[in-house]
Structure 1
């Protein structure tokens, strides 16, 4: 999760490197970047006490290596972007590619999701399709030869490849896709579905970036006379906390408005920055006053996605279905250092009941596997089907596999960040 406020500055001193009084190239040399970053970490890093007392900067070729060398053993979340990467993904909400995300299962590749009006979308590629070949070469061969990513081409506009894919019903398609600038809509699907004879609002929320506020309005505006709400964050790696607040507030409405959404707790050097954020609509227009909210999760549900669950729990019933979440009850205030944005952990979050520190992830009430069966909203989707069962019966389904999963010891959550999410996109 990223705090709603963005901290901007070069750090490491009070002078402005752009005021003409300093040599900018010297100020932003690799050596100076490392010095600035280490100084910032010693003051603002949540686990600053875990940084070695003596750090030889000459041992690290860049700030990226320095972060890896001095981060706390418990820190699975801090990362650094270039300013260009930050502006592209967080602010402009775009990247150059075909517009799909995929998962690799053994020697096969399946589509997780497709961005609206992207080359992949326009060609007809859909969630759950299997990618069979790239430029005529079987995907299984490319994976075995470690050439899959290279076969998809460089991240440059105009790069074209021929893709062959197969739908769940066995129908095969072949088309040439050309990379272009892809707008990353953060709500991948939104509709009213009939589950157990109840009208259920269902939407897939994929990230929390600058455009999410309006995307949420687009989703909630589609829901009329709904009895239940299902928020699907199964692949949502997190982002700006204010939009987690907006999503939660639009769902629970008067049950939470004005109550404590979350408490931001900084290290003891920065306790003056501690603050409490209340539930509020932010850019939201429409609200529901639901007493119960369903949330679909996997190990890829992280950070601000988890915040929705933890923040709502003191006030309404939250039914979590799917898999244990990634376990990131901490967040970052992005900091500019020359041409980079550092995202190092600055604070932890606690809900109105002072509950947090779920580093092992948030466990679902009802487990269900993220098996690909069709496009979003398919009623045979195990997570959505389990939500339907709970809506009808008030309990989890008696599936023996699910009960075994629930009783087994949870595995250590994967260190899933927005970077992991973006790396699965092409």
Structure 2
């Protein structure tokens, strides 16, 4: 047995030597290439993606927001934008226009470079000349002219003598045209504004010798431009020009005081002028609606609808009632402390003056009140903004805002529905009586004047008269005058509705 073992061992050894001969030596396999991994994106890029991933209303419709955080594909996507943070933000919105310029679903989200400046804007503080205007174009040239829609009291424009309805055609002795009006009108902090008159008979605009010099200052604009009571054949009619839903405690209380004065003066009808109101705080919209109504305390004014994850999160954490806002009897501060009792007019009808600038929180008033009262609209089609946003900041684990940068976002996070679940007003609300301010160019009356065209239509209805559905005076030129630019577009938050009662510290929210 020993010999057999030795023989077998010898054969095995020879076989091994033969297999390892030089002629049959195997070619070494090359080492596989080392796959280079993407570095982690910078923290600001992560903040942008995380914030939209959690809060954005259309999160489920954006492919890049379906990437898994931390993966190579996710890192590559974020790193692809480098420090172009606004471009990264825009790439995550739904839907970007294609080469043919197709419409976007989200027309309202925006990136914020300085959230401190943004918060000042929400409080009504910005650098301003103190007047707003609209521009149109001459029919036979590229020349541009404008008219003043309103002037802020005690502002530089007011002190210079600028008035609502003033027509202007030049800045610093340079005639306005389609190529220069932006640089001339908002590229300077001070300028000379050249005024003009309208020759109605010949339908031409003629410059006059009136030049006004205006310089911009940091201005806090009271959103209540005017509140007064009119006596129409014994009926007391309240009129309020309200230009922004500025949601500070100070202005919420001022709004309540103004409605209280109208009530004390016996107002049984209200004309709410929202022609120049692009929106603002949803909470301010709620309390204003409660001031107008007063008969449905505790009933639903507004329902908030979020993306699925956020809807479930808020429902689980706060309950179903967190998603609804109810007509109220009191004004509260951020901490829920009562500041005042609501002054309610207890109306069953309200007149709202509108334009294409009437948007977001202004439209929330219309939509939220309609299940409970007759809402009569006078003007032009409203903007059609049924969504709201929040300010998303870069919060650290300690709850403080990251001090290393001031970037933030104002993404659309939800849409509003009324008590009847109507959220379908993306095309805006159509007026019951059509009035277009351009039709009265050269004879635009002051706001609150009973002969001012929009207000007059409301007063005629209240008096039992039968005003024409459309009072169109633009036929004198054979064409409709159109706005090519509205200075309200320069406002830092534009046609926006923001929910200022929601905590935007998303660090505790995960998918």
In the superposition, the TM-score normalised over structure 2's length comes to 0.67
The residue that corresponds to 1:38 in the other structure is 49
* Selected match of 1:329 from 386, 395, 402: 386
* Selected match of 1:85 from 113, 117, 136: 117
> Match of 1:393, SS?
coil
CA contact (8 A) 1:329 1:348 kept: yes
The residue that corresponds to 1:143 in the other structure is 177
The residue that corresponds to 2:292 in the other structure is 251
Q: How many correspondences in the alignment?
A: 375
The residue that corresponds to 2:84 in the other structure is 62
- Structure 2, unmatched stretches of 5+, are 1-39, 68-73, 96-104, 138-143, 200-205, 316-322, 332-339, 395-404, 474-483, 495-511
Note the 1:15-414 alignment, pairs <5 A.
31-53=42-64, 56-60=77-81, 61-73=83-95, 74-81=105-112, 82-91=114-123, 93-106=124-137, 107-135=144-172, 137-138=173-174, 141-146=175-180, 148-150=182-184, 153-155=187-189, 160-166=190-196, 173-195=210-232, 198-209=235-246, 210=248, 211-223=250-262, 224-253=265-294, 255-271=295-311, 272-273=313-314, 275-280=323-328, 281-282=330-331, 285-337=342-394, 338-371=405-438, 373-393=444-464, 397-399=468-470, 401=472
Deviation at 1:102, TM superposition (A): 1.4
Q: CA RMSD for the aligned pairs? A: 3.0
Deviation at 1:292, TM superposition (A): 0.7
The residue that corresponds to 2:13 in the other structure is none
- Structure 1, 214-223 or 44-53: larger mean CA deviation: 214-223
Q: Provide Cα deviations, 1:334-364, integer angstroms capped at 9, x if missing partner.
A: 2113413311111111111111131111222
How many angstroms apart in 2 are the aligned matches of 1:358 and 1:117?
Answer: 37
User: Measured at CA, do residues 342 and 126 of structure 1 come closer, stay the same or move farther in structure 2, by a change above 3 Å?
Assistant: same
How many angstroms apart in 2 are the aligned matches of 1:375 and 1:322?
Answer: 16
> Match of 1:41, SS?
helix
In the superposition, the TM-score normalised over structure 1's length comes to 0.79
CA contact (8 A) 1:118 1:183 kept: no
How many angstroms apart in 1 are the aligned matches of 2:293 and 2:393?
Answer: 36
How many angstroms apart in 1 are the aligned matches of 2:194 and 2:301?
Answer: 46
Deviation at 1:417, TM superposition (A): 12
Deviation at 1:33, TM superposition (A): 1.6
Larger of the two Rg values belongs to structure: 2
Deviation at 1:227, TM superposition (A): 2.7
- Structure 1, unmatched stretches of 5+, are 1-28, 403-413
